[in-house]
Amino acid sequence: MHRYIKASKNYGRNNKQEPITLGWFLLFRLSKSTMPDFPLDTEFISQLTATIEKNLANEQFGVSELAYALNMSRSNLLRKVKKATNLSVSQLISQARLKRGMELLRKGTHNVSEVAHQTGFSSTSYFIKCFREYYGYPPGEAGKRANEPESLPIAPPPSSERNNTFVIIGVAALLIVVLGWFVYNYWPSEKEPVVDKSIVVLPFKNDSNDSTNVHIINGLMESTLNNLQKIKDLRVISRTSAEQYRNSAKTIPEMASELNVTYFVEGSGQKIGDRIVLTIQLIDGATDRHLWSRQYRREAVDIFALQREIANDIAGEIRAVITPEEKNRIQKRPTQNLEAYDAFLKGVDLLKRGGGANLRQSLVFFDEAISKDNTFALAYACAGMVCYYLDMFQAEKIYVDKLGAYADKAVLHDATLAESLMTKGMYYLTRKEYKEALPYLERALEYNPNSTEVLGLLADFYYMYLPNTGKYLEYALQGLKRNANSGDSVSISYFHLRLGNALIQTGFVEEALKHIDKSLEYYPDNTFSRHVRAFVLYAKDGNLHQTKRLLLAEYKKDTNRFDILQDVAKVSYYLQEYDTAYYYYKKFNHYREAQKLDVFEHENLNIGRVYELAGETEKAKGFYERYRLYAEADQTAYKNLALTVYYCQMNDNAKALEYLRLFTQEDNIQYWIILFMDKGPELTEVEASPEFKKLLQEVERKFWANHEKLKLKLEDQGLL
């Protein structure tokens, strides 16, 4: 039995110029639904309609605010609206605003700018862009087209099956017309090439001989990067990728080729007394041509206005669309206290360097910043992140209470700050309250769509915390799509590693091996890729002896790799080399206890069996008990499997079968389950029974059925 659970477009009412209310719009969406079998929740539709219409002029009213107003969780709202309207919530709100905008424009009493403001678009240019995309012409022409219908009239519902044929033909013809219009109007032409709005912010240079000002210049670079990352219309290269060019002698075109990026931002500056002098240049990556350059001379007290101005100037120069929500987030002032901000920048500088000593010292600076401004949300958030990193993998969570306190304060003072939400998610991860962590991480990505940190946390969430192979693959693909061309060979290597790991867990062996090999092409010293590759090759060839040789080769290169150490012991156990397994498990346990690590609790059953075979019965009982506690507290889809193998070991046949039946109901399980579920050297009585084997066959059948569905989906999306 397997004991290897690795956490590894437009709609109108008629031709008359009547107002199109949101309620009618929703009912029309429902009447056109291709899934008519669900009951219409009229009370929900009514509440949804009233709440959105009430807040149309509020530019800050979005998904989270609507969920709060309806007293629903964000995820539940998204599911319910999608099912009812086949729209996302943000699309629904946006289209409602555009409908109201059309009504106001056709009345002719307001200009475009006034209508944009009254419908919740603080940016007139963004309103014009959305209006044009939705209606097919700019808002300035709405009055001229007042006699035209907003859209095609709705056909009456069919009265018989015979009529269905004509409706299908009509819809098909309409789709062809609409598709042709879309291609004609929006397909990129030679006259209007689509420019990739990708940008990298290179490390700013300190022009002053005073090294104590470095954290200020680094802080200005960091704020410029963070503000640009908040703009979804941009593809912003990560700080890690940019940092490798701090002292590089490479030319801009060389870097552009490596990074696959269109624009570069260079900056240099210094602090002279109470004044900041900063020069910013925007450069075309392919030609090294300076597109725009500006020198900013500001008093230090105006540092936040300077940060906003830089981001807006750069975005404006490359014609990036900034939504009202993004504009509000960029314009936020993190603190009113410049001394607090100075201490904060010193803390950030140390946080980015990493390492235990740097992290602990950064916490001192964050606390200093908070002491000077006790409403400084970003300082609370970063202090919480430090606590998370210091407690990571530690059995005794020394900083968890401080992490919780910092996270609560961060969210209290700014619940729309991505860092606040990410820190709150980290708190729940540390406490192993995984379901509570997820909404915070999802909202953090919504508020900062370019954040590789949040994206990485979400991918790891579905890998380690609440394993879901489909979701893990989804976020791994997103990460590669956004960052694979970042130019940082090490970063690219890890993106391919994550995707390779996600692919093997969903049963795509050849594809997984391809990405693991790409990972090693970019960074041959990526020991984690070689670690995963050893098991991917086992999935391909079924050679456990080869797996063991590859793992031992990696372990000899770095004897601190306790994760490889326990894998060597486990493979030895599966090969029935019990003395070797005992030797390596003993070394692993010594390391785990000495370092007080909270890791690999799911391996304690195998460890107990090896110790029992070695004659250490009492220690074996201790490992069995630890495994039981782990299994009963497990929050993942693998809880029932963990309890199954525990009761197999305890020779409780009835409970083992009971939990295995429950496990057969799970979806999105890891391929490791299929590979190792029959690799136990000695079968217990219940494991050898026909019913047990039949249930295992059902687990395998269901896995491959899900694999085929996922394969079709990925092929349709061009991802396989």
Is residue 121 located within the same domain as residue 241? no
Instruction: Using the 3D structure, point to which of 333, 351, 368 is the last residue of a domain.
Output: 333
Asked if residue 263 is part of any domain, the answer here is yes
Specify the range with the lowest mean pLDDT, choosing from 229-238, 460-469, 542-551: 229-238
Is residue 220 predicted with pLDDT exceeding 70? yes
Is residue 135 located within the same domain as residue 203? no
With tokens 């939705």, the residue in question is 134
> Cα separation of 462 and 471, whole Å?
6
Is residue 263 located within the same domain as residue 321? yes
Choose among 301, 312, 293: nearest CA to 276: 301
Is residue 194 predicted with pLDDT exceeding 60? no
Asked if residue 254 is part of any domain, the answer here is yes
Is residue 237 located within the same domain as residue 324? yes
Domain count, the chain: 4
Average pLDDT over every residue of 136-153: 65
The pLDDT score that the predictor gives to residue 170 is 39
Is residue 184 located within the same domain as residue 214? no
Q: How far is CA 73 from CA 408, 597, 716, in A?
A: 19, 35, 31
Give residue-wise pLDDT tens across range 630-670: 999 988 888 999 999 999 999 999 999 999 999 999 888 88
Q: Which residue has the higher pLDDT, 484 or 26?
A: 484
Is residue 254 located within the same domain as residue 131? no
Average pLDDT for the chain:
79
Give residue-wise pLDDT tens across range 680-691: 667 788 888 999
Asked if residue 436 is part of any domain, the answer here is no
Q: Which percentage of the chain shows pLDDT scores above 90?
A: 29
Q: Give the model's confidence band at 585: pLDDT under 50 very low, under 70 low, under 90 confident, else very high.
A: very high
Asked if residue 377 is part of any domain, the answer here is no
Phi, psi for 284 (deg, rounded to 5):
-75, 125
Is residue 14 predicted with pLDDT exceeding 70? no
Q: Which percentage of the chain shows pLDDT scores above 70?
A: 81
The pLDDT score that the predictor gives to residue 267 is 82
Contacts 24+ apart (CB under 8 A), 706-709: 706/470, 706/667, 706/668, 707/506, 707/507, 707/508
Q: Give the model's confidence band at 719: pLDDT under 50 very low, under 70 low, under 90 confident, else very high.
A: low
Is residue 40 predicted with pLDDT exceeding 60? no
Average pLDDT over every residue of 21-29: 41
Is residue 203 located within the same domain as residue 78? no
> Cα separation of 287 and 267, whole Å?
19
Specify the range with the lowest mean pLDDT, choosing from 114-123, 176-185, 245-254, 487-496: 176-185
Is residue 239 located within the same domain as residue 168? no
Is residue 160 predicted with pLDDT exceeding 80? no
Asked if residue 35 is part of any domain, the answer here is yes
The CATH number that applies at residue 278 is 3.40.50.10070
The pLDDT score that the predictor gives to residue 23 is 44
Specify the range with the lowest mean pLDDT, choosing from 215-219, 339-343, 462-466, 616-620: 215-219
Is residue 5 predicted with pLDDT exceeding 70? no
Q: Give the model's confidence band at 186: pLDDT under 50 very low, under 70 low, under 90 confident, else very high.
A: very low
The pLDDT score that the predictor gives to residue 195 is 52
The CATH number that applies at residue 530 is 1.25.40.10
- The count of other CB atoms within 10 Å of the CB of residue 376 is 27
Asked if residue 501 is part of any domain, the answer here is yes
Is residue 280 located within the same domain as residue 309? yes
Q: Residue 508, CB half-sphere, CA atoms under 13 Å: how many?
A: 25
Is residue 146 predicted with pLDDT exceeding 80? no
Asked if residue 15 is part of any domain, the answer here is no
Give residue-wise pLDDT tens across range 50-73: 888 888 887 767 776 787 777 776
Phi, psi for 205 (deg, rounded to 5):
-100, 140
Is residue 189 located within the same domain as residue 142? no
Average pLDDT over every residue of 586-601: 89
Is residue 439 predicted with pLDDT exceeding 80? yes
Asked if residue 514 is part of any domain, the answer here is yes
> Cα separation of 127 and 146, whole Å?
19
Is residue 71 located within the same domain as residue 124? yes
> Cα separation of 228 and 199, whole Å?
9
The CATH number that applies at residue 74 is 1.10.10.60
Give residue-wise pLDDT tens across range 276-307: 888 888 888 888 887 778 888 877 777 777 77
Highest mean pLDDT among 34-38, 401-405, 523-527: 401-405
Is residue 277 located within the same domain as residue 178? no
> Cα separation of 426 and 431, whole Å?
9
Q: Got the DSSP string for 361-419?
A: HHHHHHHHHHHH-TT-HHHHHHHHHHHHHHHTTBSS-TTHHHHHHHHHHHHHH-TT-HH
Query: Which residues neighbour 484 within 8 Å (Cβ) at sequence distance 6 or greater?
Result: 492, 495, 496
Give residue-wise pLDDT tens across range 331-384: 777 888 888 988 998 898 888 777 788 899 999 999 999 999 999 999 999 999
Instruction: Using the 3D structure, point to which of 524, 539, 554 is the last residue of a domain.
Output: 539
Q: Give the model's confidence band at 406: pLDDT under 50 very low, under 70 low, under 90 confident, else very high.
A: very high
Structure tokens at 472: 């893990």
Instruction: Detail the DSSP E strand segments found in 151-289.
Output: 198-201, 205-206, 235-236, 263-272, 275-284
Is-contact 261 200, C-beta < 8 A?
Answer: yes
Q: What share of the chain is helix, strand, coil (3-state, %, to 5)?
A: 65, 5, 30
Instruction: Using the 3D structure, point to which of 518, 539, 560 is the last residue of a domain.
Output: 539
The boundaries of the domain holding residue 177 are: 160-194
